[in-house]
Amino acid sequence: LEVSPTFFEVTTAAAFVAFRRAEVELAVLEVGLGGRFDATNVTQPIGVAITTIALDHEAQLGKSISEIAYEKVGVIKPNTVVVLGQNAPEIHNLVAATCREHDAKFIDSRQGISVSVHCTSDATQLSLGTPVRHYNQVDLALQGRHQAVNAITTVRLLEGLTHQGIEVSESAIISGLTDVTWRGRLEWIKVPSGRVLLDAAHNPAAAKALAEYLTEIRGAPVSFVLAVMRDKDIAGIIDVLAPLANRIVCTTMSTDRAVSASTLAACVRDRSPKTNAIIESDPQA
C-alpha cells in the first residue's frame, strides 16, 4: 500500500471479519470520525441514527455545526431508515433533504412523542410515548437527561426497523435501555470514602451535559480531577466546568496527545482566576 491504514481502519476491518466469523445477523457500528469518509461507511446500512451534533474534531470536519453535519449525512444511503436526534432546525432540514435525495425514510425522533424525564443521583427515569407504543417509567442504565435524549433516538430507530422487515419487541427495547453498560459516561464508582463520578466530557457540549447533570442531582460545588487532550477545546471545557468547582486537580495522561498538568492548570487560572487549580502530574497519585 502507498498509504498505511490507520489504527481505526485496521480495527474496523478486524471487526468486520469477527462479525462474519460469528455469523452476526445485525451489527451496530459507531462512526469514528464524521461519517462521509469514515472507515465504517463502506457498509450498506439498514438503519442510521444521527444523534445531537456538536463541535468536535474541527480540524478534520469543519469549524461550524453545518459543516460537521454535512460530513455526518454522508452515511445516508438509498433504502435506509434514518432517525434524527435532537438538533437545530438547519440540521433537520439538511438530513431531511439528504433522505429525499437518496430515497431513504426520514424519522424525526422528536415528532409525535410525549416525554417525561426524572433525574436523580441514583437513576434517570424515562417515560416515553411514541406513535408505536408507550414505555412507562423505564430506569435507564445510562445517566443524565442527555442520555434520555439518546434513548429516544434509539427507540425510534429500533421501532423504525419494521420498515426493513425487522421487528424488535418491546421487551428487547426495554432490556437494551436498562441493561446497557458504557464505561466512563456518567459512571458512578464506589470508593472507600463514598462514590466518584467518572465521565469523558471531551468537548464543551459533553462538559455541558456533565455540568447540567451535576447541577440537577447535587447543586453544591464539587472537586474535579481533569485531564484533557491537547487537540480538544480546553478553554471551552473549563468555561463550562469551573463554575461548579470548588477546586480542579489538573493532571495528565500517558500519551503525546495529552496536555501537561501545569499547562492545564495555567489555563484554568486564566479562564477562572477564582478557581483553586492544583497540579498533580501523576494521575496515579
DSSP-assigned states of every residue in 190-220: EETTEEEEE----SHHHHHHHHHHHHHHT-S
Q: Looking at the structure, tell me whether residues 31 and 110 fall in a common domain.
A: yes
pLDDT of residue 25: 94
Q: Looking at the structure, tell me whether residues 22 and 53 fall in a common domain.
A: yes
Q: Looking at the structure, tell me whether residues 72 and 114 fall in a common domain.
A: yes
pLDDT of residue 232: 92
pLDDT of residue 192: 93
What's 165's domain CATH number?
3.40.1190.10
Q: Is residue 274 part of a domain?
A: yes
pLDDT of residue 33: 86
pLDDT of residue 83: 98
pLDDT of residue 262: 96
Low-confidence ranges of the chain (pLDDT < 70): none
Q: Looking at the structure, tell me whether residues 138 and 206 fall in a common domain.
A: no
How many domains, in total, are found in the chain?
2
pLDDT of residue 284: 78
Q: Looking at the structure, tell me whether residues 146 and 229 fall in a common domain.
A: no
Q: Looking at the structure, tell me whether residues 168 and 201 fall in a common domain.
A: no
Global pTM?
0.87
Q: Looking at the structure, tell me whether residues 156 and 221 fall in a common domain.
A: no
269 is in which domain, residue-wise?
187-279
What is the spatial order of strands in the sheet that 245-250 belongs to? 222-226, 245-250, 277-279
121, 155, 179 — which closes off a domain?
179
Q: Looking at the structure, tell me whether residues 133 and 253 fall in a common domain.
A: no
What's 273's domain CATH number?
3.90.190.20
* Coil, strand or helix at 194: strand
Q: Is residue 284 part of a domain?
A: no
State how far the alpha carbon of 241 is from the alpha carbons of 134, 192, 221, 222, 269, in Å.
36, 25, 10, 10, 13
pLDDT of residue 1: 72
pLDDT of residue 3: 86
116, 144, 179 — which closes off a domain?
179
pLDDT of residue 14: 97
DSSP secondary structure code for residue 137 in this structure: E
The grid coordinates listed for 50 are: 444521527
Q: Is residue 200 part of a domain?
A: yes
152, 179, 206 — which closes off a domain?
179
Q: Looking at the structure, tell me whether residues 65 and 118 fall in a common domain.
A: yes
